[in-house]
Amino acid sequence: MVRTPSADDEIFELRLARSAVDLFPMLEALYGAREDYPAFRASLLKTLRKGWADRPADLKRLDLQRDLEPDWFQRPGMAGYVFYIDRFNGTLQGVLDKLDYLEDLGVTYVHLMPCLKPRSGDSDGGYSVMDYRQINPAFGTMADFEAVSAALRARGMSLCVDLVLNHTAKEHAWAKKAAKGDPKYQDYYLMFDNPDLPNLYEQTLVEVFPDNAPGNFTHYPEIGKWVWTTFNEHQWDLNWANPAVFLEIVEVMLFLANRGVDVLRLDAVAFMWKRLGTRCQSEPEVHMLLQALRACSRIASAAVIHLEEAIVSPGEMLPYLGRGKHDGKEGNLAYHNSLMVQFWSALATRDTRLMTHVLATHFPDRLTNATYATYIRCHDDIGWAVTDEDAAAVGLSGHAHRNFLSDFYEGSFPGTFARGALFQVNEETGDKRISGSFASLAGIETDPDLATQRILMGHALIAAWGGIPLIYMGDELALPNDEGYLTVPEHAHDSRWIHRPRMDWPLAEARHQAESPSAQVFRGTKAILARRRATEALHAAHPIRVVPTGIDALFAFQRLAPTGTLLGLFNFTERWQHLPEQIARTLGATQLHDALSGTPVLPHHGQIALPPYARVWLT
């Protein structure tokens, strides 16, 4: 008897046909010359079919819904919240207990920081994963994880988790087999019999953690190998030139998708492909791999989108959202690192010329099937990604400006309001990165009132830019630095833990009654997200255009919606500024209505008065 294809079978075949053109040309370019390519291709199709067959019915319905609403993640109702589970409320059950809080804030996207099973001890904050299919037992079980994903889905919230693509922990089952001499699994990693090739590679590689993990290779005398370890000795880089690695990761992606994950945050993607004589970052094959991985998700779990973590220069970052042959086919989301860096730069200098130049020059007014994850702070350090060329364009020395920013936000520059900490000082290059919470870098210890306004201006900026604004846990309550990390042995060497405090739940419980800076920031942030939801002009597909105002203190951009222009205005100083009414009208704000406050803006003597750290969404 011939089996009649089911509706599910037909849907799979339709999605396979839709994405085949995005998938197979990439795989053929990467692996087509290998003898095992036909077997690999057959195995991949089998994996995709099994992933689809195993997908729960409610998630298949979500696949269909998002196929019909492909802009779901670009809509202004999207707003994200990012946290470490243990710092937020201990466990996955603790997350369930606090969903009312997230809903109150206006969150529709929840990023659980690394929650897959890490190695014990130092795990690079959870990014040294030893099992992709288990949850960190300190947080709960996979059943607990699925309960959280279901509860979020019931509230209209999307779930994001980290999937580390560049490396595994050396305790991962693959690595253990490789260490025992299994040639199949040794080919999963980049292992060398002598230091000759590692020494050649090192000539052009950069050190990510020069203080505590110098170099990019580790020698293991007990196994007679030099292993590529870009980030830490315990993180072994995967060999993506081996198609078996691609197949393994696709299986993991579909496993997580079928547990209810909506957004896969693909970690450390820039480092995935190695080429002698280069930095081994953002090589062309990286984009082929990422396009192929996205195609696999679109075939077997169409509701899932990809956030590609590439904290690189603007020209290097944009291809992760698709450029050239990858346009509209690669990442759905990528971090807008430049917006974050330029926010802090303009805040320190009280001058938006560099910010205006960088954001107007290097970024397109819209993206295809993709958008930005916008943020002011995250779990990581701040690297001052300001090029010498961009600095020179506004009359600055790049080297001097980067040093100034490090000094200012460390708190050593005369007159600074900030209180941060240095991270990974590179004496050879002079590179000094910065750690610190949003509130402490904004001056909560030195001037709480002005710091409150700086924080709210930052949240209003990322909410209006377009994309998904991400609020890092505690920033909505203006939580300061946590110096307690210095007493924790596995954290003390890493100043990034200064801005990873534990959630202050008593402070959060008082958010609607108190008049503290913390309560003001919460209520202000909640209002910003509510106004964002109500402002259709902030849909990420509408073009954005950075525009000069002639006033160095002000940063401005237009959101060019079919219903009319929205003009974002931001005062980066603690002084009142005045914008001629005619300039605002010329830039499209013909009604002079503030969509953020919901009130009209009344000019005085032909001038729009903007108080310190003002944020206005003029229509």
- Looking at residue 3, its pLDDT comes to 63
- Average pLDDT on 458-478 reads 97
Report CA-CA distances (Å) from 310 to 138, 146, 200, 292.
Answer: 28, 28, 25, 17
Q: What is the pLDDT of residue 277?
A: 96
Coil, strand or helix at 272: coil
How does pLDDT run across 48-94, given as a tens digit for each residue? 999 999 999 999 999 999 999 999 999 999 999 999 999 999 999 99
Range 442-463 average pLDDT: 98
At residue 10, the pLDDT reads 95
Which residues lie closer than 8 Å to 75 by C-beta, 6 or more apart?
539, 540
Q: How many CB atoms lie within 10 A of CB 324?
A: 8
Q: Can you tell me the mean pLDDT for 417-422? A: 97
* Tokens 């079928």, residue located: 258
From 209, 253, 227, select the one nearest 167 (Cα to Cα): 227
pLDDT for the residue numbered 317: 86
Active site residue: 237, 308, 309, 552, which one?
Answer: 309
- The fraction of the chain above a pLDDT of 70, given in percent, is 99
The number of angstroms, rounded, from the C-alpha of 120 to the middle of its chain's C-alpha atoms is 25
Decide: 270 and 315 in contact? Cβ < 8 Å: no
Give tens-digit pLDDT for 100-139.
999 999 999 999 999 999 999 889 889 999 999 999 999 9
Q: pLDDT at position 122, please?
A: 87
pLDDT for the residue 490: 81
Q: Is 173-237 in CATH node 3.90.400.10?
A: yes
Q: For all residues of the chain together, what is the average pLDDT?
A: 95
At 425 the pLDDT is 81
Task: Give the mean model confidence (pLDDT) for residues 350-376.
Answer: 96
Q: So where are the chain's domains?
A: 173-237, 544-618
Give the lowest-confidence range in 284-288, 321-325, 530-534: 321-325
Residue 596 has pLDDT above 80, yes or no: yes
pLDDT of residue 25: 98
Contact 348, 412 (CB under 8 A): no
H-run or E-run covering 452: helix 448-465
Confidence band, pLDDT 50/70/90 cuts, at residue 310: confident
Mean pLDDT of all residues in 238-265: 98
Which residue, among 110, 119, 73, 118, has the nearest Cα to 92 in the 3D structure? 110
Burial of residue 446 (number of CB atoms within 10 Å: 0-12, 13-18, 19+): middle
Question: Could you tell me what percent of the chain has a pLDDT over 90?
Answer: 91
The whole-model pTM stands at: 0.95
The pLDDT of residue 214 is above 90:
no
Q: How much is the pLDDT for 426?
A: 76
Of 304, 280, 259, 300, which is closest to residue 217 (Cα–Cα)? 280
CA gap 256, 267 in Å, rounded: 15
Whether 1 shows a pLDDT value over 60: the answer reads: no
8 A C-beta contact, residue 571 and residue 554:
yes
Is residue 339's pLDDT more than 90? yes
Please calculate the CA angle 107-112-117 and round it to the nearest 5 degrees. 170
Please state, in angstroms and rounded to a whole number, the distance separating the CA atoms of residues 221 and 234.
15
- Of residues 86, 162, 267, 380, which has the active-site annotation? 267
Q: Is 309 a catalytic residue?
A: yes
The whole-number average pLDDT for the span 240-265 is 98
- Count other C-beta atoms under 10 Å from residue 341's C-beta: 20
Check residue 83 and give its pLDDT: 97
What is the tens place of the pLDDT at every residue in 484-512?
999 998 888 899 999 999 999 999 999 99
Fold of 544-618: Immunoglobulin-like (2.60.40)
Q: Is 177 exposed, middle or buried (0-12, 13-18, 19+ CB in 10 A)?
A: middle
Segment 152-180 shows an average pLDDT of 98
pLDDT band at 314 (very low <50, low <70, confident <90, very high): confident
Token reading at 194 = 């002598």
Confidence at residue 393, expressed as pLDDT on a 0 to 100 scale: 97
Q: What is the pLDDT of residue 514?
A: 80
Active site residue 330: no
